[in-house]
Structure 1
Amino acid sequence: MDSTTVITTERLRLRPLTEADADWWVGLHADDEVNRFVGGYTREQAAARLRDIQQQWTQRGHGLCAVELRSTGRAIGRCGLNWWEQFGETEIGWTFARTHWGRGYATEAAQAVLAWGFGSLGLSQITAMIHHGNTASSAVARRLGFTPLREDSVLGRPCTVHALARDDYLSPDMRGARH
């Protein structure tokens, strides 16, 4: 996938985020419950973060995506791959508007991103950095087959880094568990 293509699932469409998404990004992170673990953004901070995401798409061939409902085209969250230079790791991340929690969208989007990351991109491992207390994201990570790797800190906050290896993802046992 490059910056002009998309990933689709039964209910969702994932497309690369661009700086044009800054107002939407600010709105997504304006909810205190949504930003509890990922933080809020000003318009300027959002534009800078989205420029960084676009740069990852250009340099690495992957990045974060807007997640849209296929039925309406409305953006409901974000999911994708993020390269962390300081860790030397590619992380999968997801954040959804509170009105769309509990419907399986994070799991559905993340499953599609994992298939792309381990398939087309050929990544050998993907991590998920989950802040302490984020029980919903921990549950999504478990459903996807991630296991705890280490305790660390990201953006100044303690987190558990979970990992999923390509070989484990592709194993017959894992394929059966995901479906």
Structure 2
Amino acid sequence: MSNAPVLETERLHLCPMTMEHWPDYFDFMTSDRSAGMGGPFDAKMSWALFCHDTAQWSLMGHGALMITDKQSGMCFGQVGINHGPLFPEHELGWLVYPQAEGKGLAFEAARRMATWARDERQLPSLVSYVDQDNIRSRKLAERLGGVLDPRAARPEPEDLVYRHY
């Protein structure tokens, strides 16, 4: 059983992943939209990533939450704190489905997740690893207050690292 919280914002529920989220997650991960994360991925790797995002709650005390609309229940993507053997530091990460772009939903969700990480987990610093070609994620990291940290360790040498204090 997951120890993942349910977090809220004005418009959103950030909730634990369930099998109901799998079809949209799979569509995203197997599409060109996942290129900034190393995708597109095949079905096996998409499933492995879905399980990874879920398992981090039990293993690490943090992980991914799905971004859902409070009124309709529609899923808009994912936000999470990643860490472990694949991430040098605690990463504030996100992915947004096409219908959610340009509405401030990723900002709202990421800001809430960062607050949870600081207040509940007492993490002193978060980073966001961003593909240098992903302009939308770069702008979001900056809007969240992230500052480029060229000396930070990164999982991929070409990634930019935005540090959130």
Relative to the length of structure 1, the TM-score reads 0.81
- Give the CA deviation at 1:138: 1.0
After superposition, what is the alpha-carbon deviation per residue over 1:74-95, rounded to whole angstroms, capped at 9, x for unaligned?
1111111111425431101111
The residue number in structure 2 matching 1:106 is: 106
| Structure 1 consecutive aligned stretches of length 4 or more whose deviation exceeds 4 Å | none
- Give the CA deviation at 1:36: 2.6
Structure with max Cα Rg? 1
Q: Distance in 2 between matches of 1:146 and 1:29?
A: 25
What one-letter code is carried by the residue in structure 2 that aligns with 1:35?
A: S
- Give the CA deviation at 1:9: 0.6
In structure 2, the residue corresponding to 1:142 is in which secondary structure? helix
The residue number in structure 1 matching 2:129 is: 129
What is the identity percentage for the equivalent residue pairs of Structure 1 and Structure 2?
A: 25
- Give the CA deviation at 1:4: 4.9
After superposition, what is the alpha-carbon deviation per residue over 1:125-162, rounded to whole angstroms, capped at 9, x for unaligned?
100001111111111111111101126654x5611111
Does 1:40 pair with 2:40? Answer: yes
Corresponding residue pairs, total: 162
Contact 2:66–2:77 (Cα < 8 Å) also in 1: yes
Q: Distance in 1 between matches of 2:83 and 2:154?
A: 15
Contact 1:83–1:91 (Cα < 8 Å) also in 2: yes
Which ranges in structure 1 are unaligned for 5 or more consecutive residues?
166-179
Give the 5 Å matches for 1:71-86: 71-86=71-86
Give the 5 Å matches for 1:1-179: 3-18=3-18, 21-32=21-32, 34-38=33-37, 39-150=39-150, 154=155, 156=156, 158-165=158-165
What one-letter code is carried by the residue in structure 2 that aligns with 1:67?
A: I
Relative to the length of structure 2, the TM-score reads 0.87
